[in-house]
Amino acid sequence: MSSALSVVDSPPARYAEQPHPASPYLELSVPTAVRRLRALAEALPGTAIHYAVKANPQPELLAALHAAGGRFDVASPAEVTAALAAGAAPEDLVYSNPVKRRADVAFAAAHGVRLFVVDSPEETVKVAAAAPDAAVLCRLVTSGAGSDWPLSRKYGCSTDEAIRILVAAAALGLEPAGVSFHVGSQQRDPEAWAAPVAAAARVFAALRAEGLQPWLLDLGGGFPARLAEEEGDDDCPPLAAYGAAIDRHLQHSFGADRPQTLVEPGRAVVAEAGVLHSRVLATLTRGGVRWVFLDAGVFTGLVETLDEAIRYPIRTSRDGGPIGPCVLAGPTCDSADVLYEQVMVRLPLDLAEGDWVHLDSAGAYTSCYSTVGFNGFPPLPTLLRD
């Protein structure tokens, strides 16, 4: 085990106390994540912010987000335990994974979690059996259009199905609390919330016609992080534009009957708090194309480069000189371990073995996506920066 890896084990060291760390590693600024949580809360007044633990479950991060008023979105017993250890009350958790192990539902319920997401009749029956007094949100399908990392092919049902599921939930003794959806991660279009908010309003109206009283709308995650390389480059609108659009969609679809709302942001809170530092293994030319190999890749945290979906802003220790296109690849022997090839990256032409390559906005879905040791490379360590 490398010395940097032991940093992730106990106790996590502070960045400033580290000798020059081995690479690759994730440098995480918890205060930056707290600022982003506050920026989201400001953009979405009156909406509860449940940080999606899956984006980065670093314990110090969870504790700081809880202290700043954040609640949590959890998807497994380990995430329930982590959120509770951070100080959250069980009623501040939404268990958002729509398909769960029965024992995991029972575990969460035994720890006081009450709010679960479902998207099928089968799962509703399961939750009713494993957590008899629970409240449920039914997840609606969305297109995912406009997002860099769409999510909804796997989860979500139609409005008609949601109505049937929530009516059935009530008959099973569950509380039909309302509706959830996710518009896809790194969603570039604030208007993406319009259709699912309208669909949710149709479900609420149908349930009320059945004599039920849904009260909660989970607007999901999807809020973006800054991925532009330079100020002024094409990037997503500011968080305030998302808040304003959502407010307008809620007004349009629910009018005065607006339900309580929550969001489950992961990326928007923690991505900009992280920089993934890696070093160049080699630069070489194949068939006239320059390839740069890094010591970090798809299996050491950069899973979201698959299909080149998430494009991290890149800086190097040689910035300033002439630049040119290259394919960027990771260190393992798997041919899937190529980060950017279809759209090549432009890096300094004199980049050489041992130089640093820094990937910005990398605090989300990196350290927790790292394999346990594919090709013998250890998981991506995290160093905390004050």
Ligand X SMILES: Cc1ncc(COP(=O)(O)O)c(C=O)c1O
* Positions that interact with ligand X (CB under 6 A): 52, 54-55, 73, 96, 151, 182, 185, 220-223, 264-268, 364
> Measured from the CB atom, is 73 or 92 closer to ligand X?
73
State which residue, 26 or 357, has the beta carbon closest to ligand X: 26
Q: CA dist 199 to 69, 179, 222, 235, 337, Å?
A: 30, 9, 18, 28, 39
**Which residues, other chains included, contact 166 with Cβ-Cβ below 8 Å and sequence gap of 6+?**
136, 138, 176, 203, 207, 212, 214
In angstroms, what is the minimal distance from the CB of 353 to ligand X?
Answer: 35
Q: How far is the CB of 201 from ligand X (least distance, A)?
A: 20
Note whether 174 and 135 are within 8 A (CB): yes
Nearest CA to 292 out of 313, 303, 304, 278 is that of 278
| Residue nearer to ligand X on the CB measure, 47 or 96 | 96
Torsion 213-140-181-97 (CA) sign: positive
Give the nearer residue to ligand X in terms of CB position, either 240 or 352: 240
Phi, psi of 25 (to 5 degrees): -160, 160
Report which residue's Cβ sits closest to ligand X: 221
In the complex, the smallest distance separating the C-beta of residue 280 from ligand X, rounded to whole angstroms, is 29
- What is the smallest separation between the CB atom of 321 and ligand X, expressed in angstroms? 35
CB closer to ligand X out of 188 and 279: 188
Strands 356-359 and 382-385: unpaired
Closest separation in Å from C-beta 50 to ligand X: 8
| Minimal distance, residue 9 CB to ligand X, in Å | 26
Q: Both ends of the chain: CA-CA distance in Å?
A: 25
126 or 182, CB closer to ligand X? 182
- Beta carbons within 10 angstroms of residue 327's beta carbon: 17
> Residue 385's CB: how many other CB atoms inside 10 A?
16
Question: Quick one: the chain helix, strand, coil %, rounded to 5?
Answer: 35, 25, 40
